Structure 1
């Protein structure tokens, strides 16, 4: 309720929800309808939120094919390309040569959360490995630090004819090291029915082809939309036989697989998946369409549930795209002016926070003395920031840190 009140007081027009049905969710706040338009986008999203308070769901034509509308309480906003945009980390390692050429065997891999790795998909992976002699399976995720989880997978694979020696597990590691681990993978196998999302984008960025069989829900089609929009529809299959066949086919020609590997990153980078400006222009158009429907609903006095409708965002032509970029340049200038103003105000508030502490002695409660007599004001090691609700929050006195900066602003 407190968060809902803050949103209303801030007069948010369009609220975008990103946690969904996940840990520490804020769906109870969303159910209070704190904004005129509420949109669901990424995060804890398996299909629909099931909440009448959520007006729209941002998706695309691969995530929710035609005919899926009846399975959603929200109206679908279909983007013309991918429903997300991938920003590759600057610290991502270079794509290495095909590991199979050095090792002499194919390494299949899956770096997805192991809660997606069920017995059914393990059996399919075992069928692939049984058809690719000496091949190995590399599974990496922080949960693999748990022995019980590893044992479950080992026993399942043994029952399918795959020995423990052909399985490799790795647990948690820094993100750059995780990305570097793809240089030990030849082919990535997507889980089912919950597919990879960010994991698929990262695998492609590291030059690793991903084979997927889309699942029956939104959560099962992430890889399909990323592959489709990155320009690799040939790695999307609709049956298990084709899934196995495609994996074996790629594994059987290491020369071709090596050539594919060297070109994947460039192709992904040039695709809509990594085109932030294009995505931003389409998202801006989507928000305007949503707001137009909300305004029309007010004007015609339409009840809740009747003013919303499905939205298909058409790709911007060159003229619209150029106009959008010009608007962005103008907004950048406004943002710079506002940013300078906020920085000035923030510094003033920060100084007040310092003065509160200095007026009461230093932050540890002891007064400082110079030459044994005169008191000296020292830089505090804490800001005391009072909110309008009368709560005092203590933070480090560093404006380069997000928390004190936002609170002071």
Structure 2
């Protein structure tokens, strides 16, 4: 279990909870904050990123996917619990989105026991990283420029400027 070491209080609480669940000390790793390049590099050492509920990982899940680390999530009810679901769909890995905590647990156990499946997901993630919308900066930039152009055109014509969805 690899956890962020943020504050002494949070670390102490996590240690206490891990002990109450009989998680051996050698299975707990507390990682301090690091510069971005080192943070991304250590993601490559992990096998699977287990997302949380009710609030999913946001930037951290994006970092993991960029580094090639598969993310397993359970679709939540509110926006904060659905971010990783959106990220996984945008990278072409909806099979890593589960609909219930039971399904999440089953999938985590399956992936832990089947390194061949995990390797297949890693290969797919590597292939999709630069071809799917999640990290396609060129597509994002073109869509954003198009939205700005449309807003400018409407403003010049005296039309109301409504919200635009960027992407697609």
Shorter chain as denominator, the TM-score bin is 0.7 to 0.9
One of 106, 118, 126 as aligned partner of 1:245: 106
| Aligned-residue offset at 1:263 | 4.0
Structure 2 CA distance for aligned equivalents of residues 182 and 208 of structure 1 = 6
Check the 8 A contact 2:140/2:167 in 1, yes or no.
no
| Aligned-residue offset at 1:226 | 1.4
- What SS does the corresponding residue of 2:74 show, helix, strand or coil? coil
Residue correspondences, number? 168
- What SS does the corresponding residue of 2:16 show, helix, strand or coil? helix
- What SS does the corresponding residue of 2:68 show, helix, strand or coil? coil
| Aligned-residue offset at 1:294 | 4.2
Q: Is 1:228 matched with 2:89?
A: yes
> In the TM superposition, what whole-angstrom CA distance separates every residue of 1:204-242 from its partner, at most 9, and x where no partner exists?
222211011233333333222211011001111221111
- What SS does the corresponding residue of 1:191 show, helix, strand or coil? coil
Please give the root-mean-square deviation of Cα atoms over the aligned residues, in Å. 2.5
One of 76, 79, 82 as aligned partner of 1:218: 79
- What SS does the corresponding residue of 1:216 show, helix, strand or coil? coil
Residue number in structure 2 paired with 1:139: 3
The change in CA–CA distance for 1:292 and 1:159 in structure 2 (over 3 A counts) is: farther
Residue number in structure 2 paired with 1:160: 21
Structure 1 CA distance for aligned equivalents of residues 51 and 137 of structure 2 = 25
Unaligned runs of 5+ in 1: 1-136, 300-306, 316-409
Residue number in structure 1 paired with 2:67: 206
Alignment of 1:296-375 (within 5 A): 298=158, 307=160, 309=162, 311=164, 315=168
Check the 8 A contact 2:93/2:125 in 1, yes or no.
no
- What SS does the corresponding residue of 1:176 show, helix, strand or coil? helix
The change in CA–CA distance for 1:161 and 1:308 in structure 2 (over 3 A counts) is: farther
Unaligned runs of 5+ in 2: none
One of 140, 144, 163 as aligned partner of 1:283: 144
Check the 8 A contact 1:193/1:214 in 2, yes or no.
no
| Aligned-residue offset at 1:140 | 3.0
Check the 8 A contact 1:207/1:263 in 2, yes or no.
no
What TM-score do you get using the length of structure 2 for normalisation? 0.84
Structure 1 CA distance for aligned equivalents of residues 166 and 65 of structure 2 = 26
Q: Which has the larger radius of gyration?
A: 1
| Aligned-residue offset at 1:196 | 1.7
Structure 2 CA distance for aligned equivalents of residues 312 and 259 of structure 1 = 33
Q: Is 1:150 matched with 2:11?
A: yes
Higher helix residue share? 2
- What SS does the corresponding residue of 1:170 show, helix, strand or coil? strand
